[in-house]
Amino acid sequence: MTTALTILNEEEELFRQAIREFAEREIGPLVEKMDRQGHYEPEIIPMLFDLGVMGIEIPETHGGAGASFFMSILAIEELSRVDASVAVLADVQNTLVANAILRWASQDLQDRLLPRLAGGSVGAYALTEQNSGSDAFALQTRAVENGKDFILTGRKLWITNAAEAEIFLIMANAKPDAGYRGITCFIVERGFEGFDVGKKEDKLGIRASSTCELILEEVSVPRANVVGEVGKGYKIAIETLNEGRIGIGAQMVGVAQGALEDSLGYTAERKQFGQRIGEFQSVQFELAQMATEIEAARLMTYNAARLKDARMPFLTQAAMTKLFSSQVAERVTSLAIELFGGVGFSREYPVEKRYRDAKIGKIYEGTSHMQLQTIARQIQRS
């Protein structure tokens, strides 16, 4: 069968295969344990850095791989095929944190931060607040100028990678009277006085991935730690999230692909009425539908990533990718549980975890309703 993988060049295919083998060998045996305990095993993060997947786009001069955005998408997909919790760690690091610093930070900040992000420091991206979710620009975290510093005060919620991160991109409003045009992006590091990471959420899915509250109590941040310009944080937030949505698409494709492979294996072994259930036409049709939808989602994801690398407009394609891929992942993982029958509803088999992991795809980095709104506006303008 012709698949989207045939559009990969030799370097991309070798990279994809290396990530797949690593994920199956090193992450696979730990998935169930990490899901139950709700955190990563200690060896996971160092292995990801050693593999080079935490700094894919970071230039080689700063210790990264100097590869393309598309390579990041391949890594996220293959990690998600085994464990979406591990994939989101690399996803945020590459498509949000490193991406924003590469595009917007001063040379000084890049020189200081990129080697750390490539060499062992996890990053987190902090936009969401209690009353600022889909309405991202309603954030209440404030930044008050104090000489050469800014004093940040506020709270952030639902921040991925927060428990492990050393470097935080935090959005705060430095000019509240200017509305969203006062929003500014700051680098806050773990250990800054007045900064603390709060409780970890007990989540439905991607349970090993940390999602925490951030507490800022008059945190002094040097002006040199402003990413971009004061008042331009809204632009950084919008454009970075547009890129991040392609990463979520890859994550959902990987989750769905894993569920399909689980289903193919189970239906080839399970017997009812004297034959393997995979021989029943109704089951074959369901598997065919799953494969078709995954292929469509993968092609959309790859296309959006290629557009981004080519520096062509991709806003609509990114929104479509996230919308459709999350829908496919939810449908495919739900159907996988049905194909497994009663055991699929238990934790004895992996499909129930994939179903739980898929749900977040419709929520974070812009809900499905927000993607629909973006798509509608773009097609009406064209």
Alpha carbon distance 223, 145 (integer Å): 9
- How is residue 19 written in tokens? 């990530």
Residue 3 has a pLDDT of 59
Residue 359 has a pLDDT of 98
Alpha carbon distance 72, 90 (integer Å): 8
Residue 365 known to be catalytic: yes
Q: What pTM, to 2 d.p., does this model score?
A: 0.96
Which one of the listed residues 164, 286, 330, 365 is annotated catalytic?
365
- How is residue 142 written in tokens? 């404030």
- Dmax over Cα atoms in the chain, in whole Å? 80
Which residue reads 């940390």 in tokens? 210
Q: Quick one: which H or E segment has residue 29?
A: none
Residue among 253, 270, 278, 284 at smallest CA distance from 354 = 253
Residue 285 has a pLDDT of 98
Q: Output the CA–CA distances (angstroms, integers) from residue 279 to 181, 259, 264, 288, 290, in the order listed.
A: 60, 19, 11, 13, 16
Residue 5 has a pLDDT of 53
DSSP annotation of 129: B
Residue 174 has a pLDDT of 97
Query: Average pLDDT of each block of 10 consecutive residues along the chain (382 residues)?
Result: 68 97 98 98 98 98 98 98 98 98 97 98 97 88 95 98 98 95 97 97 98 98 97 95 97 98 97 96 98 98 97 97 98 98 95 98 96 97 85
DSSP annotation of 176: G
What domains can be seen in the chain, in order of their start residue? 4-121 (1.10.540.10), 124-231 (2.40.110.10), 234-381 (1.20.140.10)
DSSP annotation of 182: G
